Amino acid sequence: MSFVFNADEIFEMALKIEQNGEKFYRDSAKKVEDSEAQDFLAGLADMELEHQRIFKGMKSALTVADQKAMTFDPNNETGLYLASLANTKVFFEKDIDTSGLEGIFKSALAAEKDSITFYLGMKDLVQAGSGREKIEEIIKEEMRHIRILSERLAALKK
């Protein structure tokens, strides 16, 4: 079965990815002893929480047409598929080294890059006029995380 997703479904998955990211950062903050690092990781978790708020707002602004299913899906297979992808591909099912800040930052960078790759692929599955341009906003938000994490990782290596 080929899946064609609408913007509403993409935002549901984006919300799940952001929830997973928030949990990752909060859990990681508990594993480090440095209070500055704990604050930084808590700040990243708060950014993920803010992304959730942004995505909820974007989702609520979708038109009825944007929310319309693009395929016949009486058993919600699309929703289940999206949830599975969100849970396994980004922030989960990875070998995450949380023994130190460098490992946490590298793992977080990989997850953020994966989320961008995921959103780029999903953008192609959303038909024009069904909110494809809104996916670009998600990608920009994730790129901001990569910049922040990269700066912190570089500072650790100095």
Read off the CATH number of the domain in which 30 is found.
1.20.1260.10
Alpha-carbon distance of 119 to 7, in angstroms, equals: 11
Q: Is residue 68 part of a domain?
A: no
Compute CA 80 distance to the chain's CA centroid, rounded to the nearest angstrom: 17
| 69 located within any domain | no
> Is 27 a member of any domain?
yes
Is residue 47 a part of any domain in this protein?
yes
pLDDT tens string 68-127: 555 555 666 666 666 666 556 554 555 666 678 998 999 889 888 888 887 787 777 666
- Quick check: is 28 in a domain? yes
**What's the structural domain count of the chain?**
1
Angle (deg, nearest 10), helices 132-156 and 35-60: 170
The per-residue pLDDT for 57 is 83
| Residue 97: per-residue pLDDT | 66
Q: What are phi and psi of 5, to 5 degrees?
A: -100, 150
Give me the torsion for CA of 95, 101, 106, 112, rounded to 10°. Answer: 90
| pTM for the predicted model, two decimal places | 0.75
Expressed as residue numbers, the domain containing 35 is 7-62+77-89+97-156
- The band of 130, judged by pLDDT with boundaries at 50, 70 and 90, is low
Would 1 be classed as within a structural domain?
no
Has residue 19 been placed in a domain? yes
Tokens of 120: 């780029």
